[in-house]
Structure 1
Amino acid sequence: MAEMLVKENDDGMEKRHLGVNAALAAYILWGLLGVFWELLSVVPALDTLAYRIVFSLITIGIVLTVQKDWGTIWQTIKQLIKSRKIFWIILSSYLISLNWFIYIYMVTHHEATEASLGYYIMPLMNVIIALVFLHEKLSRSKIIALLLVIIGVVILTFQTGSLPLNTLLMAGSFCFYGLIKKQVQLPATISLTLETFFVAPIAIIYLLLSPHVITQNGLGVSTLLVLSGVITVIPLLLFAVATKNTDFITLGFIQYLNPTIQLLMAIFVMKESFDWHKAIVFIFIWLGVLVFILGNVHGVHRIKAKK
Structure 2
Amino acid sequence: MKNKHLGLSSALAAYILWGMLGVFWELLSAVPAMDTLAYRIVWSLATISIVLTVQKDWHNVWETIVSLTKNRKIGWIILSSFLISINWFIYIYMVTHHQATEASLGYYIMPLMNVAVALIFLHESLSRAKIIALILVVIGVVILTIQTGSLPLNTLLMAGSFCFYGLIKKQVQLPATISLTLETLCVAPIAVIYLLATPHVMTQNGLQVTILLILSGIITIIPLLLFAVATKNTDFITLGFIQYLNPTIQLLMAIFVLHEAFNWNKAIVFLFIWSGILVFIVSSLYNYRRLRQIKNTVKK
TM-score relative to the length of structure 2? 0.98
The alpha-carbon deviation at position 306 of structure 1 amounts to 1.9
Match of 2:256 in 1: 268
The alpha-carbon deviation at position 68 of structure 1 amounts to 0.3
The alpha-carbon deviation at position 303 of structure 1 amounts to 1.3
Find the partner of 1:56 among 37, 44, 48: 44
Is 1:120 matched with 2:108? yes
Residue type of the alignment partner of 2:221: V
Where does structure 2 lack aligned partners over 5 or more consecutive residues?
296-300
Residue type of the alignment partner of 2:235: D
Aligned-partner Cα distance in 1 for 2:56–2:128:
49
Is 1:77 matched with 2:77? no
1:216-254 deviation digits (Å, cap 9, x = unpaired): 000000000000000000000000000000000000010
1:118-164 deviation digits (Å, cap 9, x = unpaired): 00010000000000000000001100100000000000000000000
Where does structure 1 lack aligned partners over 5 or more consecutive residues?
1-12
1:159-179 deviation digits (Å, cap 9, x = unpaired): 000000000000000000000
Match of 1:5 in 2: none
Match of 2:162 in 1: 174
The size of the alignment, in residue pairs, is 295
Aligned-partner Cα distance in 2 for 1:301–1:215:
55
Is 1:160 matched with 2:185? no
The alpha-carbon deviation at position 305 of structure 1 amounts to 2.0
Is 1:294 matched with 2:261? no
Aligned-partner Cα distance in 2 for 1:130–1:50:
31
> Alignment partner of 1:137: what SS?
coil
Q: Kindly, what percent of the aligned residue pairs are identical?
A: 78
Q: How does 1:135-146 map to 2 (within 5 A)?
A: 135-146=123-134
> Alignment partner of 2:246: what SS?
helix
Is 1:250 matched with 2:238? yes
Aligned-partner Cα distance in 2 for 1:262–1:162:
23
Find the partner of 1:220 among 200, 203, 208: 208
4+ residue stretches of structure 1 with deviation over 4 A?
Answer: none
> Alignment partner of 1:43: what SS?
coil
The alpha-carbon deviation at position 73 of structure 1 amounts to 0.2
Q: Over aligned residues, Cα RMSD in angstroms?
A: 0.4
Is 1:16 matched with 2:4? yes
Q: How does 1:34-49 map to 2 (within 5 A)?
A: 34-49=22-37
Aligned-partner Cα distance in 2 for 1:218–1:109:
21
Aligned-partner Cα distance in 1 for 2:27–2:293:
50
Q: How does 1:26-37 map to 2 (within 5 A)?
A: 26-37=14-25
